[in-house]
């Protein structure tokens, strides 16, 4: 399968790239700084660009079978996720690419959530400490939900830099999940969505 990965040089994006190549996919990594991507492979194409550049995003999406986004918030404006979603969706519609899998934080709510006290405290702190980050993540998800694409939003709590466990909990905030997950396991779940249709049009939370 041909896939393009946005945010490919980030903490989770690197895991997505590596695992996609291990799975035999043809990978296009879209990055602002190619030197930050510590991966080389015959099936890896690295494109330099920024998600604010709509034509570069469109060029990256053209000819792909699916799009994975591991974009995160970026200073100073904290609009990268929103603008990225806007340009990625437009590019997918333009080039007839249907499958979108995008990563975001568990602070973005879903109607199926049943947050407990700890969840409510974490969300309250996020709103107080990093309101721009949470707002950017929410706007990005709003745009994905409003699209006509075959999308899955993958929500995570605290991302940990530790080896993958292969053990995943899939549920909702307050239902069957915990507040942390390894980046490697998050990447595994994202890639599994390339062939798993169970979460089309949904925004599950995943954890270890």
Mean pLDDT of 164-191: 96
Nearest to 14 by CA among 50, 41, 51: 41
pLDDT at 142: 98
Q: How would you classify the pairing of strands 26-31 and 44-48? A: parallel
N-to-C CA span, the chain: 27
pLDDT confidence band for 198 (50 / 70 / 90) = very high
pLDDT at 95: 98
- For 14-34, how does the pLDDT look when each residue is reduced to its tens digit (9 = 90+)? 999 999 999 999 999 999 999
pLDDT at 174: 94
pLDDT at 193: 98
CB 106 within 8 A of CB 42: no
The span from the CA of 144 to the CA of 159, in Å, is: 22
pLDDT at 120: 82
CB 16 within 8 A of CB 39: no
pLDDT at 178: 93
The span from the CA of 35 to the CA of 39, in Å, is: 10
pLDDT at 99: 98
Query: With 80 as the cut, is the pLDDT of residue 126 above it?
Result: no
- For 62-117, how does the pLDDT look when each residue is reduced to its tens digit (9 = 90+)? 999 999 999 998 777 789 999 999 999 999 999 999 999 999 999 999 999 998 88
More confident residue, 131 or 111: 111
- For 29-53, how does the pLDDT look when each residue is reduced to its tens digit (9 = 90+)? 999 999 999 999 999 999 999 999 9
pLDDT at 37: 97
- Tell me the H-state helices in the chain: 13-22, 54-61, 80-95, 117-129, 131-146, 183-192
Please tell me whether the overall predicted TM-score, pTM, comes out greater than 0.75 for this model: yes
- For 160-169, how does the pLDDT look when each residue is reduced to its tens digit (9 = 90+)? 999 999 999 9
Q: How many other C-beta atoms can be found within 10 angstroms of the C-beta atom of residue 125?
A: 11
Full set of structural domains in the chain with CATH: 2-207 (3.40.50.720)
- For 133-156, how does the pLDDT look when each residue is reduced to its tens digit (9 = 90+)? 999 999 999 999 999 999 999 999
């Amino acid at each position: 399968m041909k896939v393009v990965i946005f945010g490919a040089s980030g903490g989770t994006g690197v895991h997505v790239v590596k695992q996609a190549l291990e799975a035999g996919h043809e990978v296009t990594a879209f990055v602002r700084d190619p030197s930050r991507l510590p991966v080389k492979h015959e099936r890896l194409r690295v494109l330099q660009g920024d998600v604010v550049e709509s034509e570069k995003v469109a060029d990256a999406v053209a000819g792909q079978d699916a799009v994975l986004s591991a974009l995160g918030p970026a200073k100073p404006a904290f609009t990268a996720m929103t603008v990225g979603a806007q340009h990625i969706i437009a590019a997918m519609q333009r080039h007839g690419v249907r499958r979108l899998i995008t990563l975001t934080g568990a602070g973005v709510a879903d109607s199926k959530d049943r947050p407990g006290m700890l969840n409510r405290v974490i969300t309250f702190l996020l709103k107080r400490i990093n309101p721009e980050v949470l707002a950017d993540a929410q706007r990005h998800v709003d745009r994905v939900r409003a699209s006509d694409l075959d999308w899955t939003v993958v929500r995570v709590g605290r991302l940990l830099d530790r080896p993958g466990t292969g053990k995943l909990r899939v549920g909702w905030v307050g239902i069957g999940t915990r507040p942390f997950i390894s980046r490697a396991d998050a990447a595994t779940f994202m890639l599994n969505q390339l062939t798993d249709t169970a979460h089309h049009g949904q925004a599950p939370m995943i954890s270890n």
